[in-house]
Structure 1
Amino acid sequence: MMLNMSGRIRLITDSGADVPLYYREKYGIEVVPLTVLFGRAEFKDQVDLSVEEFWEKLAQAEELPATNQVNPHEFAEVFEPYLKQGDTILYIGLSSKLSGTLQSAQLAKELLKSAKIHIFDSKSASLGVALYVIKAAEMIAAQASVPEILAALEQKQRDSAAYFILDSLTHLVKGGRLTRTQGLVGTILNIKPVLKITKAGTIEIDEKVRSTKRALQTIVDKAQATGIDFSQKKLAVAYTYGAAPAAELKEMVIERLQPLEVIEGLIGPTIGTHAGPGGLGLLF
């Protein structure tokens, strides 16, 4: 069906990309799972623990869960069979600033001593990574070479951004990003933090606004202010459990930005741990 299915380019990502099932199945994208830790209990993301189950556990957890990177040997076990049959591997990963998973993939490449493994740091998370993966999958289907794909991904990186709205400050307090006093004051004032993924691939609080409606307007304003022609670009609307305004955000995006396509998907543990229930994201 595709070059990566016929033994030429194997497209691989990690579960931090939150690639929707439709695209994974359509393009034969392989997903290597991170480990999610709830106390001493370990779960392979989207293998032992579905995204829906993660949100159910998170709602009951007293402490924030953690995510552990994929280790180099796990990557080597995924890569090696493909190399033995002559495949080329393209791995597109979660930001190296958010997880050591990309470094593990690089170490696996060194262990296997193969020039046929290509590693791309998306410097993004959640559906922001998925957009790179989908772009690569479409190019593989169009019979593009790995150098052509990497060049296109680097070009895309120049005008990419990711913004997340938090419905509550609770998880920022639990994660140590805000003090309890700041969290209490913010809750009283109905503060909605807007997080962004920086060009370096880190997450920071970009702005604090009052009310969800204002937060939605803010992230769409930021996208519009880039001056990008979205008519030729895919955007993603990512959401967590309980994110009622997701449909409203999608409508605003379509009306104001008029993108080529809006991809929707549920946010997984990597961002979900920080965002908490009710979080939303706009990624491009």
Structure 2
Amino acid sequence: MNPQKIAVLTDSCADISPALARERDIFVLPLKIIYPHREYSDGVDITPQEIYQRMPQALPTTSLPDGGTLLSLLDEIKSQGFEKVIAICLSAGLSGTYNMVRLMAENYEGLQCAVFDSNSGSLGEGCLALEVTNRLAQGASWEELLLLVPRLRENTQVMFSLDTLEYLQKGGRIGKISCIAGTMLQIKPIISFAPDGQLASISKVRGRYRSMDEMAGRIRAMVPTDGTPYTLATAHGGCPGDLEYLKSKLRDEIGCATHYYEGEIDCTLGVHTGPHLIGCGIQILE
């Protein structure tokens, strides 16, 4: 436990590996994956690979974390001697998780809690939580962290390439005709988070490798040229070979980054995008 007695809480959509979460003492709240005959906790009793293997015959839905699980996590945080909590949550534009955590944590007795909407998910959300732990290790105070998180959020950009439009179409986010046309033309949308925290298309590229090339080029263009430190992150949804290709395109930028994180896409995002999602992100540090 850090001398400031500040805990960091996030949800399973932050795509922080269990090993890294344990190493950084990050408490992770799982969202729910729901099949007709059983409910699972994201990353606890079901993995993304298990979900991909059931697709497309079985397509689950997703839901908010369980309130009892959140209360148990807060109880555990308090029992370990923490006095304050910084919580970083999945974008409120995609989920009610932020509002749920905010209402429950800010009314929890015995802990002072500050709950932030990441306006992002996956790499963006995870980088925010991890950078808070970095600053805690450097001795940042509670007040400094409250000012820092919104600035880091503004300086964090992530993007993803979809391998198929099928699951966006099944989820009602695009029409069937658009899905068929996009599939026939091998269109690979590149998506990111809009200012309101919802997913938005920022480019459409023909071909898988071209889409990864474009993402790498966009990230390279965001790398500071004045020596300002930055963090890079990459993640994949069941396509480690594609991840290696993307990393090869970003090798120099990864080598010069202050921090580099690598993860696997969570179950919740994987449900809505399908397998073979590949993503990268950058966070400019102060």
2:10 to 4, 13, 22: 13
Q: Residue 230 of structure 2 is aligned with which of 220, 229, 233?
A: 233
- 1:223 maps onto 2:219 in alignment: yes
Structure 1, residues 72-128: CA drift from partner, whole Å, max 9, x if none? 443233224544656211211111111111111111134325671111211111122
CA contact (8 A) 2:223 2:253 kept: no
- Counterpart of 1:280 in structure 2 is 278
Q: What is the number of residues matched between the two proteins?
A: 279
CA-based RMSD of the aligned residues comes to 2.3
Q: Which amino acid aligns with 1:19?
A: I
Q: Which segments of 5 or more consecutive residues in structure 1 lack a partner in the other structure? A: none
Q: After the TM superposition, which of the residue ranges 147-156 and 122-131 deviates more from structure 2?
A: 147-156
What is the CA-CA distance between 1:236 and the residue it aligns to? Answer: 1.0
Distance change in 2, residues 1:165/1:243 (3 Å): farther
Secondary structure, counterpart of 2:241 in structure 1: coil
Give the match for residue 242 of structure 1: 239
**In the TM superposition, what is the alpha-carbon distance from 1:243 to its structure 2 partner?**
5.1
Identity of aligned residues (%): 27
Equivalent residue, structure 2, for 1:170: 166
Matched, 1:143 2:139: yes
Which residue, out of 239, 260, 263, partners 1:262? 260
CA distance 1:86–1:223, change in 2 (3 Å): closer
- Are 2:51 and 1:54 equivalent residues in the alignment? yes
Question: What is the rounded CA distance, in whole Å, between the counterparts of 2:70 and 2:192 in structure 1?
Answer: 29
- After superposition, what is the alpha-carbon deviation per residue over 1:163-217, rounded to whole angstroms, capped at 9, x for unaligned? 1101111112211222222222211111111111123211112221101122112
Whether 1:45 and 2:81 are equivalent positions in the alignment is no
Q: Which amino acid aligns with 2:202?
A: D
TM-score scaled to structure 2, two decimals? 0.88
Retained in 1: the 8 A contact 2:6–2:84?
yes
1:32 and 2:29 aligned: yes
* 1:190 partner letter: Q
Q: Displacement, 1:259?
A: 2.8
Q: Which moved more, 1:65-74 or 1:255-264?
A: 255-264
Q: Secondary structure at the match of 2:190?
A: strand
Consecutive unaligned residues of structure 2, counting only runs of 5 or more, are none
TM-score normalised to structure 1 length: 0.89
- Cα deviation for residue 242 of structure 1 reads 3.0
Q: After superposition, what is the alpha-carbon deviation per residue over 1:215-257, rounded to whole angstroms, capped at 9, x for unaligned?
A: 1122222223336358621111110113532111111122357
Provide, for residues 5-59 of structure 1, a one-character-per-residue CA deviation record: whole Å limited to 9, x for no partner.
Answer: x7811111111111123321211111111111123420011222133333333x3
